Amino acid sequence: MSFRFTTAGESHGPGLVTIVEGLPAGLELDRETLDRDMARRQLGHGRGGRMKIETDAVEIRAGVRHGRTLGSPVAALVANRDYENWDERMNPWPIEREIPPITLPRPGHADLVGMWKYKHGDLRNILERASARETAARVAAGAIARAFLSAVGVTVVSHVTRIASIETPDPEGLTIEDFRAVDDDPVRCLDPATSALMVEEINVLRKKNESLGGTFEVRVFGLLPGLGSHVSWEDRLDGRLAQAVCSIQAVKGASIGEAWDVASRPGSEAHDEIFYSEERGYYRETNHAGGLEGGMTNGQPLSVRAAIKPISTLTKPLRSVDTATHEPSQAHKERTDSTVVPAAAVVAEAMVCLVMAKCYREKFGGDHIDDVIAAIDAYRDRIGWQ
């Protein structure tokens, strides 16, 4: 069963569009739930002025009738409220006056390489699509995928584990309940004491015109074992998840479970021993593997961790070169955030939702959501999964 999505749109264009294909018919979608995910992408201490302008909402344009999917592609629009201020600069059609090109590429951004690759003399043609504003469309698609996963008993959550030099203690034994109030925290951190230090770090470095990176974790509860496969490199779920998360703007690395920690341990301390009881069936007492073994889910909570670099647009620009004159200059300055780590974790949730929804569609098929659930129930019975 094919499942895929795509996005289109520019940061300051009329809006962002996503199309999600491969959903079963009969899946219930709730408008408020979709919009809640969009609002979560705008959370976090350290966000900039754009978040005061945009109030993102998902406008379903196709594939849904009376709150349920039809089995056809679902099309959604996220309008850019700020477009009214950019109508001339981003109008799809020719305008009467000439817009001066931007020729000061930012270190760390797609600007310079994109200008080379696509033969543009104005880096506006690159930065608009390279902007993290594109992730609004991903979160819209992910919210739709999340509705499907919820229908099959899967929950996807996230939390921030580091901002700049401030890192939270590694939590053990996290459950869904631990994430109930994570969005109420100013940096989406589970430890209040660490959260306060993160906020202070953001405030200090923002006054110094710096941007801040960090790390976060996405956790998935309720997954069945056997999603993904060991039989080919492209089916291995760890690779698919890493690609999806690393495709998020500014993310520079992703890992599964305790990857970097277990690399320094002996094998006896790195793997999750297997136990069995009549009451519980097969179970583990640890989860170093992060819910994946051999490219497949093993039934434990999935853990995907990622590192995101500081934003490349600084309020005090770095040194660059004017591409029109080759003269030294300061890099272009756009409206920007101090840090997007809390929001990036929400975007990563969306990407993980989309990957896992694809895995469920591949494994269980079904033209209607009832067919999917019936196939899942049959599989659970076959493997004796409680």
CATH of the domain at 335: 3.60.150.10
Number of domains in the chain: 1
Contact 314, 210 (CB under 8 A): yes
Residue 51: pLDDT band with limits 50, 70, 90: low
172 pLDDT band, cuts 50/70/90, is: confident
Confidence of residue 1 (pLDDT cuts 50, 70, 90): low
DSSP structure string for 103-123 = --PPTTSSHHHHHHHHT-S-T
What percent of the chain stands above pLDDT 90? 92
Reported as a pLDDT band with limits 50, 70 and 90, residue 54 is low
Rounded CA separation 195/231 (Å): 42
The CA radius of gyration of the chain, in Å to the nearest whole number, is 22
pLDDT tens-digit readout, 93-137: 999 999 999 999 999 999 999 999 999 999 999 999 999 999 999
pLDDT above 60 for 49: no
Q: What is the pLDDT of residue 221?
A: 98
Q: What is the pLDDT of residue 40?
A: 95
- Note whether 274 and 282 are within 8 A (CB): yes
Q: Which helix (H) or strand (E) holds 18?
A: strand 15-21
Q: What is the pTM of this model?
A: 0.95
Output the average pLDDT for the chain: 95
pLDDT surpasses 80 at 46? no
For residue 266, what are its two tokens? 């002996």
Evaluate if residue 335 carries a pLDDT over 90: no
Question: Could you write out the DSSP letters of every residue in 302-371?
Answer: EEEEEEEPPPS--SSPPEEE-TTT--EEEPP-----SB-HHHHHHHHHHHHHHHHHHHHHHHH--SBHHH
Mean pLDDT along residues 72-101: 95
Domain that holds residue 355: 4-383
pLDDT digits (tens, 9 = 90+) for 283-314: 999 999 999 999 999 999 999 999 999 999 88
Report whether pLDDT(326) > 90.
yes
Total residue count of the chain as it appears in this document? 386
Min mean pLDDT across 60-74, 176-190, 208-222, 329-343 is at: 329-343
Query: Average pLDDT in the 54-80 region?
Result: 95
In this predicted structure, the answer to whether residue 151 has a pLDDT above a threshold of 80 is yes
